[in-house]
Homo-oligomer: A and B are copies of this chain.
Amino acid sequence: MALKIALAQLNLAVGDLDRNASAICSAIADARAGGADLVALPELATTGYPPEDLLLKADFVAGNLESLEEIASAAVGITAIVGFVSSTGSKLGNSAAICRDGKVESIYTKQVLPNYGVFDEQRWFTAGSELVISEIAGLKCGVSICEDIWSSEGPARRLAAAGAEVLININASPFHRNKGQERRELLERLASETGLKIGYVNLVGGQDELVFDGGSIFAAPDLVARAEQFREELLFVEVDRGTAGGPMSADPDPVGEVYRALELGTRDYIEKNGFAGVVVGLSGGVDSALTATIAVDAIGSDRVVGVTMPSRYTSTATRDDALELAARLGIRLIELPIEGPFQAYLDALAEVFEDRTPDVTEENLQARIRGNYLMALSNKFGWLVLATGNKSEMAVGYSTLYGDLAGGFALIKDVPKTLVYELARFRNGGEADTGPIPLATLERPPSAELRPDQLDEDSLPPYAILDPILERYVELDMDSGAIVDDGFDPGVVERVITMVDRAEYKRRQSPPGIKITRKAFGRDRRLPITNHYIGTGRETAG
């Protein structure tokens, strides 16, 4: 009475019905070859996740049902549980097909549809209500889908009461920092409470702003098997009434897992969108250095081009650091000084600007010339422009629309500045100056270098203070009073909140980037641009 389960964490692509079906059929064959009785595939495996409004296209849903037929016919000599879109009348379900003997034997439909954070599942799907239990190799196996196990209203307890011994939960669960630990604790608790042995299979891969980290696990009730994060794997687990076991990957490193999430998210955005290479502006600062380093790790140094775009305000030191970084990474470096266009703009605008003193206008012009250079290289050579802004800047609007915010992908846009430094040091592998990112870059005070002697701290609180305030306001929705109660200066808190609220219009036009925190900007945090509430009580602004 032993059941061998294969948890197939695959990297599937949204909309690629044919290739997803092929990958699923291959995984079924591999699982069978490995002796598995049961193979579990991710949530919405046929379509990729999230398919969003592709689900409103009847031909897309029909295509996914054709995929399911093909997959079911491959499920011979093994039971396969695969996520797909079911269609009943005008209603769609986020469903799992239990396939056996070459056909679909039963269908379970997700009962708890997440509609918060990045999730909009109630936009497309109708919740199911029926339980499904299949006997496989003598054990009674129930099925659930992702959010189902996070809610007390999900089917797990009802399945246990109905006699299920094993629960297969199929997922497309996006990464954020430390989410693996949250999943583990949930699974161990649920397994302990219900007596179910629980297999959790997760999607892997990048999809626009989301990264799915894999890290599939099995709890019985303690964790007995865990797949790697950020790569495809077939995790085999042996289960019988008494025990369960399988391979166990190492505990994730809290900074390293973020680095790898950024690497995979970047690689998949580039590859799934078919770009030959990428181009990054290198300022000599840590944001662009980290961005370029991740890009090289993701797709190789021969497909990454750096551009240094010095201005009249660029110091020799920062320019040298950009050259040094490019040399250490082994990437091509293009130099395009911005002085020529900058002077041409100033000349053209002189009459209309009359005798107004230079201000942020001239700073933004320089940033936008750099954006234009990068976009021109992108247009001419087909390279994706990687924007280099971090989450702290995105939050307070310390960035230039169409300037440093220009680009197709802003891979560190959800990384707070303090974590940017941690990631750079992690990748460098220590404090010796032997990693890819020059130590001088890490040690120099941050500056935009858009006017003489400019430092970030002239305009912003130190990042060691700014970032914890931002975490409380943006990620935890704490109000100003509660943040002040945590020990921050009231004036600084109000200033930061006001900056965050006023910068919504910039974020709305920023490139996509990779979610790595509990709450990213973008679809994770949906605030109006026109907004008279300033988050510090009932005062009004605007």
Query: Residue among A66, A274, A341 with the most chain B CB within 10 A?
Result: A341
Q: Which residues of B contact A115 (CB under 8 A)?
A: 115, 120, 122-123
Task: Flag if B57 contacts A477 (CB, 8 Å).
Answer: yes
Q: Which residues of B contact A174 (CB under 8 A)?
A: none
Q: Which residues of B contact A533 (CB under 8 A)?
A: 14-17, 54, 57, 60, 63
Task: Flag if B336 contacts A402 (CB, 8 Å).
Answer: no
Of the stretches A157-165, A311-319, A358-366, A486-494, the one at the interface is A358-366
Give A18 Cβ to nearest chain B Cβ, in Å: 5
Give A393 Cβ to nearest chain B Cβ, in Å: 17
Q: Which residues of B contact A19 (CB under 8 A)?
A: 532, 540
Give A170 Cβ to nearest chain B Cβ, in Å: 20
Task: Flag if B361 contacts A542 (CB, 8 Å).
Answer: no
Q: Which residues of B contact A511 (CB under 8 A)?
A: 508-509
A371 sits at the interface (CB 8 A): yes
A464 sits at the interface (CB 8 A): no
Partner of A353, one of B268, B380, B542: B380
Q: Mark A115-139, 1 if CB is under 8 A from B, else 0.
A: 1100010110000000000000000
521-539 of chain A: CB within 8 A of chain B: 525-535, 537-538
Q: Which residues of B contact A479 (CB under 8 A)?
A: 57-59
481-527 of chain A: CB within 8 A of chain B: 481, 505, 508-512, 525-527
Give A367 Cβ to nearest chain B Cβ, in Å: 10
Q: Which residues of B contact A353 (CB under 8 A)?
A: 380
Smallest CB-CB separation from A274: which chain B residue? Answer: B542
Q: Which residues of B contact A60 (CB under 8 A)?
A: 533, 535
Task: Flag if B347 contacts A364 (CB, 8 Å).
Answer: no
313-351 of chain A: CB within 8 A of chain B: 334, 336-338, 340-341, 343-345, 347-349
Q: Which residues of B contact A17 (CB under 8 A)?
A: 533, 538, 540
Q: Which residues of B contact A377 (CB under 8 A)?
A: 352
31-73 of chain A: CB within 8 A of chain B: 48, 50-54, 56-60, 63, 66
Q: Which residues of B contact A230 (CB under 8 A)?
A: none
Q: Which residues of B contact A352 (CB under 8 A)?
A: 334, 336, 377
A375 sits at the interface (CB 8 A): yes
Smallest CB-CB separation from A119: which chain B residue? Answer: B123
Q: Which residues of B contact A530 (CB under 8 A)?
A: 13-14, 206-208, 268-269, 272-273
Known: A348-B341, A477-B57, A525-B53. A531 touches B14 (CB 8 A): yes
Smallest CB-CB separation from A481: which chain B residue? Answer: B59
Give A395 Cβ to nearest chain B Cβ, in Å: 15
Known: A344-B340, A408-B505, A533-B15. A528 touches B371 (CB 8 A): no
Known: A58-B479, A60-B533, A341-B344. A365 touches B361 (CB 8 A): no
Give A406 Cβ to nearest chain B Cβ, in Å: 6
Task: Flag if A371 contacts B54 (CB, 8 Å).
Answer: no
Q: Which residues of B contact A207 (CB under 8 A)?
A: 528, 530
Partner of A372, one of B359, B402, B509: B402
Task: Flag if A532 contacts B272 (CB, 8 Å).
Answer: yes
Bound-state CA distance A406–B16 (Å) is 33
Q: Which residues of B contact A371 (CB under 8 A)?
A: 368, 402
Task: Flag if B272 contacts A542 (CB, 8 Å).
Answer: yes
Task: Flag if B364 contacts A368 (CB, 8 Å).
Answer: no
Give A461 Cβ to nearest chain B Cβ, in Å: 22
Task: Flag if A63 contacts B538 (CB, 8 Å).
Answer: yes
Task: Flag if B57 contacts A535 (CB, 8 Å).
Answer: yes
Listed A/B pairs (5) with beta-carbon separation below 8 Å:
A208-B529, A340-B348, A352-B377, A359-B379, A360-B379
For the complex with contacts A15-B533, A19-B540, A359-B379, 6 further pairs of A-B residues with Cβ separation under 8 Å are: A18-B538, A59-B479, A123-B526, A273-B530, A343-B344, A375-B401
Sorted nearest first, the 7 A-B pairs with minimum C-beta distance are A15-B533, A16-B532, A361-B379, A402-B402, A344-B344, A340-B344, A59-B479
